[in-house]
Amino acid sequence: MSLNADNTSTSTRTRKATTSQRKEHSDITNVICNDLDAAAKFILENSFAILRVNDETHKALTNSWIAAKYFLTSKVDQSPRQEATTKSKYRRIRNGALMGYNRPSETKVLFRSMFVNGEPDPAQPWGDDEAFKVSSSLLGQHLHSILLGCLEEMMKLVKERNHTEVKGRQPDRHASAKKKRKLDHSNSINGLDFDFDSTPCPLDYFLYHNQSDGVNCSEHVDRGVLICISLTNVAGLEVFSNDAEDGNWSCPEHIFINEQLYQEREVGCSNMLCILSGDQLKKVLQGDDNMTTQFRGLNACIHRVKRKLSAARLSISYELRASVRENEKK
């Protein structure tokens, strides 16, 4: 069974928000993509997209969300001694990277699992929580496959646009003397330039426990190529969109409140992901200033978690990273 999104209609537009809502939350987030092609197009235009995943991926998200919530909720109010015990059992540092449990700030606790080519790192600490390990391992495969598939669709779109422009351009006898930049997508995304097979990618579980008045997560961009974040029934994620002259902060999770998807659900994890452009995307797609004019979504998506939440919020994110291969030419 495919790990990608449903192959149904390209996109669905939900009810427009009121004028007062648009002032704080741009309604570009009211577009839901139901396949990777639609998501790729939307990301290239806006630096993010909302993707509705299939039932198999939703089940993996739900199982992991339940296991992570059970694990992390029990760690919020630990004594200093209990905290030290948890870190010794559930935390490792490998090659300078932290894996497992951490408390990065007073507003949240985190569990990070590292994956290589969709498989969990053998050194990943799981403690004795087998359910958490099994569900996370499966989820990492799903999310890795989705982001690779989305990237492949983006590469096709960029290649098509570049081919169309070159075809429509008049011949120039002096072209060889001009500085030109061609996109070379003849190789797959696993070609010589970038390595996706052996680059560690983090699957993160963030529990914003809503017991502190501090900053949950300030505005930032992520270092990877593409990042996906699960959307929940607690509105918290905000992305900066360029659909207005001065830009707007948009809250993708408001779409679930509008659709009333959670009135009869106890689990707060939806069947939707918000996919964001990362800091490496432009480099992987060999983007220059001209390309970012055509595809403004190549710039990394600025995002944050708002300060005031209606309840505790558990978020799942996966970051597709790439490392630059060494030039094999001698």
Residue 191 has a pLDDT of 44
Q: Is residue 48 part of a domain?
A: yes
Q: Is residue 80 part of a domain?
A: yes
Q: For the segment 224-240, what is each residue's pLDDT rounded down to a tens digit?
A: 999 999 998 888 999 99
Q: For the segment 155-192, what is each residue's pLDDT rounded down to a tens digit?
A: 999 888 776 655 555 544 443 333 333 334 334 444 44
Q: Taking all residues of the chain, what is their mean pLDDT, rounded to a whole number?
A: 79
Under the banding of pLDDT at 50, 70 and 90, the label for residue 96 is confident
pLDDT surpasses 90 at 306: no
The residue behind tokens 């914003």 is 208
Spatial separation of the C-alpha atoms in residues 227 and 222, rounded to whole Å: 8
User: What would the two tokens of residue 299 be?
Assistant: 């710039």
User: Where would I find the beta strands (DSSP E) of 30-131?
Assistant: 31-33, 48-52, 91-94, 97-105, 108-116, 119-120
Residue 226 has a pLDDT of 97
Residue 246 has a pLDDT of 56
* Stretch 147-156: mean pLDDT: 95
Q: Is residue 171 part of a domain?
A: no
Q: With pLDDT > 70 as the criterion, what percentage of the chain qualifies?
A: 74
The domain in which residue 127 lies consists of 11-161+188-324
Q: Is residue 180 part of a domain?
A: no
Q: Is residue 36 part of a domain?
A: yes
Residue 94 has a pLDDT of 84
Q: Is residue 83 part of a domain?
A: yes
Residue 247 has a pLDDT of 66
pLDDT surpasses 90 at 26: no
* Stretch 287-298: mean pLDDT: 78
pLDDT surpasses 90 at 214: no
Under the banding of pLDDT at 50, 70 and 90, the label for residue 266 is low
Under the banding of pLDDT at 50, 70 and 90, the label for residue 248 is confident
Domains: count for the chain = 1
> Quick check: 199 and 297 in contact, CB under 8 A?
no
Contacts of 126 (CB under 8 A, 6+ apart): 90, 132, 133
Q: With pLDDT > 90 as the criterion, what percentage of the chain qualifies?
A: 48
Spatial separation of the C-alpha atoms in residues 270 and 263, rounded to whole Å: 12
Contacts of 293 (CB under 8 A, 6+ apart): none
Q: Is residue 236 part of a domain?
A: yes
Spatial separation of the C-alpha atoms in residues 76 and 221, rounded to whole Å: 26
pTM of the model: 0.82
**Which domain CATH number covers 61?**
2.60.120.330
Distances 180 to 175, 267, 289, 298 between C-alpha atoms, Å: 8, 52, 12, 20
Q: Is residue 182 part of a domain?
A: no
Long-range contacts, 281-287 (Cβ 8 Å, 24+): 281/225, 281/226, 284/151, 284/189, 284/193, 284/194, 284/225, 284/322, 285/154, 285/155, 285/158, 285/183, 286/181, 286/183, 286/184
User: What would the two tokens of residue 147 be?
Assistant: 């982001």
> Quick check: 5 and 146 in contact, CB under 8 A?
yes
* Stretch 241-246: mean pLDDT: 61
Spatial separation of the C-alpha atoms in residues 217 and 220, rounded to whole Å: 8
Q: For the segment 63-90, what is each residue's pLDDT rounded down to a tens digit?
A: 999 999 999 999 999 999 999 999 999 9
